[in-house]
Amino acid sequence: MKINETDIEKIRECKKVAALTGAGISAESGVPTFRGEEGLWKKYQPEELANFDAFMKNPELVWEWYNYRKELIREVKPNPGHYALAELENIIPDFTLITQNVDDLHRKAGNRSILELHGNIMKNKCLDCGKITDSIGPIEKGELPRCECGGLLRPDVVWFGEMLPQDVLKKAFNVSEQSDLFFSIGTSAVVQPAASLPLIAEENGSFVIEINTEPTVISDTVSLFLQGKSGEILPELIEKVWHVS
């Protein structure tokens, strides 16, 4: 990882840190990304499945997709990239993790102050009474998961065209604006409004570090673009900047 002494000094002085993560940070745990070549699901695009109309048209298919992803996520573990961010929360008093991911891996890795912009795949919401449950009893083949009130359950995630939880989003905007150091990690930075967070940080004078295996639409505007795997770069960066051995 190429980083010069001046940048190391600058990063070390920062006190208010925010990190935005996307599917890329979970790739090394074996969770497929959305737009990667392996894609998440045979022939469908996430946008076709992760939306309310698709769900109402074919709830079985959408539940099949989410159950497939939940099975996957139950098997996987956080990787060194997740653990590095958990360590960062312990090193920096004013640290906030903002994630677009719904895979719960940051919580498993030990982060506590987490803003889940797009919800959490392990939680379900009732279409009728709005009750959130985190477990579904056994369902007969071809049956759909239902709430005890009889209402249809949906995954408690934010679909395309749906509002993000307003309190969570407001906090995410605030910490991005107030930050003096902002990380954009493993996200293609295309999905709004999450993708505006690095730009807001940049506008407010934060030092913005992007970590991604590929350049993205924001790579040439950030203060430092570190190309590579977050599971490798993050531990190395922490070593260089904060564990001055």
Kindly report the CA angle at 2 between 243 and 80, in degrees rounded to 5?
50
Please, which residue, 6 or 192, has the CB nearer to ligand BV8? 192
> Measured from the CB of residue 27, what is the shortest distance to ligand BV8 in angstroms?
4
Please, which residue, 16 or 240, has the CB nearer to ligand BV8? 240
Distances (CA, A) of 242 to 17, 87, 88, 152, 233: 13, 10, 9, 49, 14
Choosing from 84, 216, 218, 226, the residue that interacts with ligand BV8 (CB under 6 A) is: 216
Contact between 191 and ligand BV8 by CB under 6 A: the answer reads yes
How many residues in the chain? 245
Taking every pair of C-alpha atoms in the chain, what is the biggest distance, in angstroms? Answer: 61
**Is 243 one of the annotated active-site residues of the chain?**
no
Contact between 183 and ligand BV8 by CB under 6 A: the answer reads no
* Binders of ligand BV8 in range 45-104 (CB under 6 A): 46-47, 50, 100-102
Contact flags string 117-156 toward Zn ion, x per CB under 5 A: ---------x-xx-x---------------x-x-x-----
Q: How far is residue 221's CA from residue 223's CA, in Å, rounded to a whole number?
A: 7
CB 170 within 8 A of CB 65: no
* Catalytic residue set: 118
